[in-house]
Structures are given as C-alpha cells and as structure tokens.
Amino acid sequence: MYEDRIRCAALRGKITTAKEAAQLVRNGMRVGASGFTRAGDTKAVPIELARRAREEKEPLRITLMTGASLGHDVDRLLTEAGVLERRLPFQVDTTLRKAINRGEVMFVDQHLSETVEMLRANLLGKLDLAIIEAAAITESGGIVPTTSVGNSASFAILAEKVIVEINLAQPLGLEGLHDIWIPGRRPHREPLPIMSPEDRVGSFTIDIPPEKIAAIVITDQPDSPSTVLPADEETARIAGHLIEFLKHEVKHGRMNAQLPPLQAGIGTIANAVLSGFVDSPFEALTMYSEVLQDSTFDLIDAGKMVFASGASMTLSATRQEQVLSELDRYRDKLVLRPQEVSNHPEVIRRLGLIALNTALECDIYGNVNSTHVGGTHMMNGIGGSGDFSRNASCAIFATKAIAKDGCISSIVPMVPHVDHNEHDVDVIVTEQGLADLRGLAPRERATLIIDHCTHPLYRDVLRDYYRDALKHGGQTPHDLANVFAMHLRYNATGSMLPEGAVGNVANA
Amino acid sequence: MYEDRIRCAALRGKITTAKEAAQLVRNGMRVGASGFTRAGDTKAVPIELARRAREEKEPLRITLMTGASLGHDVDRLLTEAGVLERRLPFQVDTTLRKAINRGEVMFVDQHLSETVEMLRANLLGKLDLAIIEAAAITESGGIVPTTSVGNSASFAILAEKVIVEINLAQPLGLEGLHDIWIPGRRPHREPLPIMSPEDRVGSFTIDIPPEKIAAIVITDQPDSPSTVLPADEETARIAGHLIEFLKHEVKHGRMNAQLPPLQAGIGTIANAVLSGFVDSPFEALTMYSEVLQDSTFDLIDAGKMVFASGASMTLSATRQEQVLSELDRYRDKLVLRPQEVSNHPEVIRRLGLIALNTALECDIYGNVNSTHVGGTHMMNGIGGSGDFSRNASCAIFATKAIAKDGCISSIVPMVPHVDHNEHDVDVIVTEQGLADLRGLAPRERATLIIDHCTHPLYRDVLRDYYRDALKHGGQTPHDLANVFAMHLRYNATGSMLPEGAVGNVANA
C-alpha cells in the first residue's frame, strides 16, 4: 500500500497510527511542526497529542515551533489541553492568544526568517522532534512537502527524529513545485544565488537520512481554508491610491513598467489590495512573497502575473480545490521555498521588492504597530513584515483609517508598540489617501500623514495634538503627558473620540 | 606642481581656490560631501560656502548629504550661516542639533546603508554636486579617497559635477587601502561577493569620467581628532560582562573560538569596551564594521586582531599621527569600503557579525532608543546601528545604567522613541550586568533586564512599575497611564527618581 506515496520501500514499515506516533512526544520536548499560514500543517499527530494530554495525569508541556500559523484548531486544542509551554514564531488562534495575554504561554514573536537561523546556531536549544506533512517520500527518502515549505526543511534537518504525515488529500502533483535551499553554516556561508523570483537554486525535496524518520502517519484532510474577507469599498480605495502611486513612480522613472517583484502580507487588506491590481495597467508582474493567497491566482488567471515565489499557498476553499486540481496550469509560474529564503534580507534587498503589509495602527511620524492591541495584547505576531519592510525598495503599510465604527482611529499620536519604525516605513496608505514619507523629516511626515491618511472624524484631534506637541520642540515633537490620551480614552469609554465629538462614523 | 597628487595631467588646470570652487554651489542645490565620523571630510569648500552665505544677500540654502558626521565645525558654520535647509543622514554637531530640534533644519535620520541606495533609485532628487576629499587623482582620473570612503564613491558617480579637495596632509600611502564596490542597478543586481572581512572585491579608486571634475582645491589639514573619552570603571565592567558572555557562548559551541567578525558603533562606550578585548582570551579577531576607532588599532597592536574592514578611520590625535605615519605596518590588515558595503544587510547576515552598539536608553522589554533625548530631541542619529543590529547573529546594546549622577536611568518602562525593537535586540549590557534576551518572551525579558541591568537606585522603581503593569495583562504588559512617569518626572524635577527616594548615586 501507498507505493506511490512512500516510494522508499524500507520506510513503509514505519507506518503507524497518529496515537502511536504521538507517543514519541514527551514532556519538556522542543517540537518543530510544519505549517505556514494554515497551509501544509500536520493534521493528526498534534491533535492526538492534545487528546493524550487531556487524558493522562502526567504533565505534558512542550515548546512548539512552526513556520507560522496552523489550521484545524490545533493551537486551540493544544492550548486547551495545556500542552503549550512556549510557542514561536507566529499564531492566529483566539484561544491561544488569550492564554498568551494571560502570561500562561510564553510566546516568542519573531521575524519569520530568523527562527531556524537561531535554531541552527543552537540559540533555541536542541530540537527533539519534527512533525512534517508530506505529499510523498521519494525512493531515496526525500520528503516532498505539500502546500507550504515554511520551516519544515530545517526542522527535519535539525531534529533528532522526524514524524511524517503523508496526506492523501494533497495531490502528488505538488512534487516538483518546491525549491529547497538551506544556508550553509557560518562563517563559511556562500551568497544566496537567487537573482530573480523564478530562479531555482535547490532541490525538490527535503533530504534527510531516512533512518531519522521514526514514524509515518497517513492522513486525508485538506488544509483549513483561508479566512480572509472579500474586498470592500475601503480596500478598493486603498488599492486605487496605491495603483495611482505606482503609476506615478513608473512615470517618473523610479520604477520600471513591470514594477519590482511584489510582496503582500497575509490577511484581508493585503489580499484585497493585490486583487485590485487585476484592473491596473501593470503587466508581467512577479511576486517574491511569503504567502500566496487567492489574489496571486486572480492575477495569474487574469494574465497579469507571470511568476510567484512564496513559502506557502493559503487559499479559500474554492480556490484551493481549483488550484490543487489544476496544478499543471500553474506549474511553470510557481515555486514554494523555505521561509528563510522567501524572507531573506539578502534577496529582498537585491530584488528591490515592493512590500505591502498591514498595520494595526500607525502614528503621525510613520511608526507602525503590527502586533499589540492597545500596546499590550498580542494579536498574531510580526510575521514576515519586518523581514520585508526593512529591506524592500518600497515598504508600504496599509490600514483602514478607522475601526469599530469609528471608535478607533488607526492613526494615533504615538503607537504604544513599535514593530516598524520611521526608518523602515516608506508609504502609509488608507482609504483616505496615501502619504509618501521617503526622504522626509518627521515634522514633514506628520503633516502629510494627518492630511492624507486620517479619517475626517479624527483629523482635528490629531491636528490639535500635533500643534500642542510642537510647543515641546524637537526632531519628533511629542507631548509625553498626553501622548496616549486616545488609547486611554478608548479603554475608559470605548471610543478614542473626545467627549462631545461626533461619535459615529455615519455622522462624519 | 602636485605631479604626485594629480597624476592625470589634464586635470591640473582645474586647480582653483576654495572660494572659486564654492561658487559652483547655488541656492537650492543638493550637495553630497565626503566625510564619515569626522574622517575624510572636505576641509575648505564648505567653510568658504558658509562665509559666502554670511556675506551675500542672496539666499543660499542647500540639501547637504554626507557619509556621516563631519569635523572642523563644518556643520556648525553652515548652520550659523543658514545654509542648511535639509541634512542627512547623520550629524553630531551641537549647533546643528539645536537648529534641527527647533525645526529649522529638516534632518532625515537614515540607516547609513540606505542614503545612496535611495539616491541611486532617484528617491532623493538629482545630486547636483559632490565635494570629495582625496589623497590623489590617478593617471586615469581615479579618485583616491583618504581616511573614509563613506558615501563618496556614489556621490561622485551620481553627481552632475565633482569638486575634489586634494589634502596634502593625508599621506599618499593611503592609496591601495580602499576597496570600491558599487551595487548594480536593480532588477539585475548580482550578489555582493564578500565572504570574509578581508575579501577585496572592487577597485582602489573612485572611477568617474575626469571631465566631471569641475574644480580641484588643495588643502593641508588633518582630520579633526575623535572626541571619545577614555575607558573608565563602568566601561571596564561592561567589557568584563561582555567578555564573560562571549566566553560562555564559545564554551557552549554557539560561537567559534575566534568569534564571528565584530562591529562596534562610534563613541566612547563601544570604543572602550572593544579596547577591553585586549585583555580577553580571544585571538585572531576580525572586524567588519563602519568606523575603525583607536580600539581597533589597540587590538591590532596587541596581536589580538588580524583584520579590520570599515568605512572610515576616526582616531585620536596621537593615534592618527601614528597610524598615518606607519601605514605600511597596517596595510595588509585594513580595508576601507563604501558605507553601503560595510553596512550591507547581505554581508552582515552572511558573516553572522557580533554587533555592539550604544543605547541612549532601553526599556524593560528590550526596545532601544538610540537617537531621541526624552523621546523628542535628536541627539546624533541612528547611524549604522540598525543596519547591523537587524542582521547580526548577535546584536548587543551597551549603556551605563544611569546618567547625570543618577538623575537619569538608562532603563525605563517604555522608551519614548524606538530605533531598535525587541525583535532586533539580543543582549543588553550595563556595568550592572548582562541580559541575554534571545528566545525569550517579553515577560521573561522584563525580569531579566530589571534584575541584571538596572542600577540599584532604580531597581525598585522598575519592579513596582512592572508589577502594576502585570495587572493590565498582555504579551507586553504596560500601564499606559503611567508609562512615561519617569520621563515626565525628569522634565519636572530634574530627576527620574520619585520624591523621597535616595537622590544621589553616591548614597545608593
């Protein structure tokens, strides 16, 4: 059985149940699991682990590292079972998030390119076990990843033992889509030889000694579909501002007509904005990104995009079914790489990417908070946004100007948590407009951001703040005594708007 | 005359006075001048420009870009004469700093690797004029830089016209010390082929068409000596903690015995700490840094350092005289590069540098303020600290735990300006101790930083803050209403210490 999926005959004897395989996990272990933005995650062993932890009396607490977020409620189940002692580098689960914010799970929020770099340098301890979803294992024992590569390759290489979940729901046609390249150990590391998004520099499979594979589990479940919302009026306006800006850049010779390769962060806004490029004048677009969402395939299908490089494909249910059943149509237009390659500063700087990421909030000087609600409570994590924005030729952050029916302004005097500072933020765009901050001093940025990006509901509030701040002087004027007044007012009253101000967006 | 200094005979006719050459500068121009941390700056033309601006009735305001800071009070003189409309990417002048903080000069504080990258991409406008100090001009018109390369090469390449200041006080022996490599234009850029600090990949000279050289001025003044202070008890203790840490890393196999190449920021603390390595057990050290200070030569002379790569040499008066008169002794151990190469993310990540930079203040979660006094007023600029800390294998920030006789704590609840955030700060070290933050969640970092790095005067203040913050919950607990209480108290009373607390460090 499974001759086409486990082509290395010697390994077929390793097939076992998820329950048996989960016995390999012991209290205190460090475990690396496949999965990047819900794609290519393991579907059976972690869930068995959660079940076992609930049933057993012995403590069972582990450090879990992944590529990025998982599907199938795995983070919820593991959290509820009390299995997660430490989690890195990214998550999006509501239950886990609450446990993190109560201080019950130690969450290490990392640039996604850095986790395996640190693991390789022995800075995160020894990796005891890797659990990797695969479409197949080749004759020589090479592991064929599925819809994501993420950190799977380095996890498998660095772990003492490996559990492989062969997922029959992932088509065999995925083989050949991946490009596995792993940086050498310092100090004798060579350049990463990618000169263009379509360059292939590695192998199709994750190559480890077959004897490291301790168990193989057969599964048959598709990836959890993406949860992004469809485009709406605001995201269409954000896309419109952005396309105008890029046309202007091309017209003035600062970008070529094809545009530099695009990166777009995970989520509704980036996905919707990217979809907006279907109606743009740009042709022969390419992507060098971490996650490929529906929008990537919208652009490919529209003949607008000629190549997309990513670390995962995270698609809606419909798109997932269509893409996986028509892989041959996309085969010469796609590659999936390890996330330390998709997010590598070296390549991002060399290619001069346009990086489009989402801000939770940004301040009048261009500092961006991507992670901490109210400056304290973790939402998801920084993800790859820092890898890209620091090194891109143009780092764009998009957000709707208000949230919660106008009770929250996404533009504030000072962000209470900084993930991307003024040095790394080139452009801020909301449905209200776009601020091009490149080459500007903070006082110039403040005027531009307030005038172009803030919602009319908050424009005067922010102008008043800035006018008062100017009295304190400085390169970056602030009134520290009142700098978080909007945040404190929101905590106290449920709205950032001053008392007496128009309290509802509909009245603005 | 000057046959040895201007070997391209055709160019000798371009020799003129500084006063004449300064006439090439016109109102509204963008000017790029050599000079990096006081080294290799132009000594005559900018000063003539300041004189002319004071005397003329016509407005004369320019954008001045440099490598980094200048010597010879050039920034002061230009500021006093009202010449500076816009200044980037770094400065250290008291008079200019005040004008910046009054909002009179627009100061664009940039990662030092990015200025010419932006200029090349046409994001900072057209460069009208470059003014470059040189030791000589070769037969073919190649410009031999002096004690810094900084941004000089790209300024000369990108500017419409070039003024060269041939400085007779800079020895001809500097020729051959430089390695000029300029990245190609995107999207067809090749890897930067440096695999080790001593790799030479470019040419000895800045090669531009000789006809672009519009004027040559002869000068005869040494560089302004560096202003760093000698090591003291605190810097010795910082060095001690750091060396213990590095020995521990080597012992546990996380670094090899030679250590990865070192980077050290400009200034007293980094210089003193690096000098402390003379008494360390480490051998065959290398540097891949931006500025080479006295400490580099201390280490070379002590036989501890085998090679140092930088963008400039900024030395005390005594060291300057000695090094420049004994260049042959150091020739095979030194190279000076463009700052976009010395500070390039690609090379920094590949080599896995240990980056040592100075914090103005840092917070209990490991965010660092390098630039803004009180969160508002510019000190010098971020310099290369971001280029290095983001991409180093180990990013260390050093500071004395207190300043102004204990009235200021360098560890605060939240920094009011973030130059380096928690994701990019691996280690914080003060004379009190060292906190290794790698792989830790914010709550773990807070305890470690408070326990290890804070001065006893402030330990309870910070513990109290953190205990209160915990009541608010979150990944990064904060009490936003009181987060800047220490800063506000300092503004009001001249001390961050609460009333009733021991007010003087001597009593602690």
The band of B365, judged by pLDDT with boundaries at 50, 70 and 90, is very high
State pLDDT tens for residues B147-194.
Answer: 999 999 999 999 999 999 999 999 999 999 999 999 998 888 999 999
A404 among annotated binding-site residues:
yes
Which one of B423, B475, B488 has the shortest CB-CB distance to A372?
A: B475
Interior angle at CA B207, CA B206 and CA B212, nearest 5: 105
**Sign of the Cα pseudo-torsion (A481, A483, A484, A485, in order):** positive
Give the model confidence (pLDDT) of B425-442 as tens digits.
Answer: 999 999 999 999 999 999
> What does the pLDDT look like over B51-84, one tens digit per residue?
999 998 889 999 999 999 999 999 999 999 999 9
- Which of B123, B125, B346 lies at the smallest CB-CB distance from A349? B346
Q: For strand A411-412 and strand B136-137, is the pairing parallel, antiparallel, or unpaired?
A: unpaired
User: Is the entire prediction scored with pTM above 0.95?
Assistant: yes
Average pLDDT for chain A: 96
Confidence (pLDDT) at B506 = 46
% pLDDT > 90, chain A: 93
Min Cα–Cα distance to chain A from B346, Å: 4
Strands B262-264 and B354-358: parallel
What is the structure's pLDDT at A7? Answer: 97
A387 vs B: CB within 8 A: no
Task: Return the DSSP state at B229.
Answer: P
Q: Which of residues 280-319 of A touch B (CB under 8 A)?
A: none
Q: What crossing angle do the helices spanning A294-301 and A268-275 adopt, rounded to 10°?
A: 10
Above 80 in pLDDT, residue A501?
no
Q: What percent of chain B has pLDDT over 70?
A: 98
A263-312 pLDDT per residue, tens: 999 888 888 889 989 999 999 999 999 999 999 999 999 999 999 999 99
Is residue B474 very low, low, confident or very high in pLDDT (cuts 50, 70, 90)? very high
Q: What is the mean pLDDT of residues A314-319?
A: 96
Chain B interface test: which of A423, A425, A466, A468 (most B C-beta within 10 Å): A423
CB contact under 8 A, B474 and A191: no
Annotated catalytic residue within B290, B361, B422, B431: B290
How many whole angstroms from its chain centre is CA B440? 29
Mean pLDDT of B309-338: 97
Contacts of B88 in chain A (CB under 8 A): 439
Q: Does A191 touch chain B (CB under 8 A)?
A: yes
Across the interface, which of B261, B377, B419 has its CB nearest the CB of A474? B377
Q: List the single residue in A122, A125, A260 with the smallest CB-CB distance to B186.
A: A260
* Predicted confidence (pLDDT) at residue B508 exceeds the cutoff of 80: no
Residues of chain A in contact with residue B475, where contact means CB-CB under 8 angstroms, are: 100-101, 107, 109, 371-372, 376-378
- Closest CB to B349: pick one of A346, A473, A488: A346
Amino acid A13: pLDDT: 96
Query: A475 and B378 in contact by Cβ < 8 A?
Result: yes
CB-CB under 8 Å, A376 with B472: yes
| A369 annotated among ligand-binding-site residues | no
pLDDT reported for residue A54: 96
- Chain B residue numbers with beta carbons less than 8 Å from the beta carbon of A372 are 474-476
Count interface pairs A-B at CB distance under 8 A: 226
Task: Judge whether A126 is closer than 8 Å to chain B, CB to CB.
Answer: no
What integer pLDDT is reported at residue B443 of this predicted model?
98
Q: For residue A363, what pLDDT is reported?
A: 98
Q: Directed axis angle between helix B268-275 and helix B294-301, to 10°? A: 10
Q: Is-catalytic flag, B290?
A: yes
**Phi-psi sector, B73: left (phi>0), alpha (psi -120 to 50), beta:** left
Query: Of all residues in chain B, what percent carry a pLDDT higher than 90?
Result: 93
pLDDT in tens, B233-270: 999 999 999 999 999 999 999 999 999 999 999 888 88
Average of pLDDT values for A450-474?
98
Q: How far A378 CA lies from chain B's nearest CA (Å)? A: 5
A-chain residues near B201 (CB < 8 A): none
Output the 3-class SS for A111-128.
CCCCHHHHHHCCCCCCCC
pLDDT value of position B502: 56
Q: Specify the pLDDT at position B500.
A: 73
CB B384 within 8 A of CB B453: no
Confidence check: pLDDT of B284 > 60: yes
Q: Is A367 on the interface with B (CB under 8 A)?
A: yes
In chain B, which residues have their Cβ closer than 8 Å to the Cβ of A86?
441
Q: What domains, with CATH codes, occur in chain A?
A: 9-219 (3.40.1080.10), 233-456 (3.40.1080.10)
Residue B504 has pLDDT above 80, yes or no: no
Residue A507's pLDDT is what? 42
Nearest to B390 among A193, A382, A390 (CB): A390
Per-residue confidence band for A420, with pLDDT thresholds at 50, 70 and 90: very high
- For residue B371, which residues of chain A lie inside 8 Å, CB to CB? 475
Flag if B186 and A121 touch (Cβ within 8 Å): no
Question: Chain B contact for A253, CB < 8 A?
Answer: yes
Residue set of the binding site of B for CoA? 380, 384, 404
Q: Given an 8 Å threshold on Cβ–Cβ distance, is B439 in contact with A123?
A: yes
Nearest-neighbour CA in chain A from B197: distance (Å): 11
Residues contacting A334, CB < 8 A, separation 6+: A177, A292, A307, A308, A309, A310, A313
Range list of H helices, A367-484: 385-391, 442-453, 456-470
pLDDT mean over A178-204: 95
Annotated binding site of B: 380, 384, 404
Which tokens is B179 given? 């390695």
- Contact, B125 vs B30, CB < 8 A? yes
Flag whether the ipTM exceeds 0.90.
yes
Q: Are the beta carbons of A314 and A293 closer than 8 angstroms?
A: yes
CB atoms within 10 A of CB B115: 28
pLDDT beyond 80 at A317: yes
User: What pLDDT digit, counting tens, does each position of B491-502 carry?
Assistant: 999 999 998 765
Distance CA A308, CA A330 (A): 10
Whether pLDDT at B507 is above 50: no
The average pLDDT across B258-287 equals: 93
Average pLDDT (A368-376) is 98
> What is the token pair recorded at A106?
């130690």
**Confidence band of B228 (pLDDT split at 50, 70, 90):** confident
Report whether pLDDT(B302) > 50: yes
H or E stretch covering B453: helix B442-453
Quick one: pLDDT at residue B112? 97
Q: Are A431 and A454 in contact (CB under 8 A)?
A: no
Greatest extent of chain A over all pairs of C-alpha atoms, in Å: 77
Contacts of A256 in chain B (CB under 8 A): 187
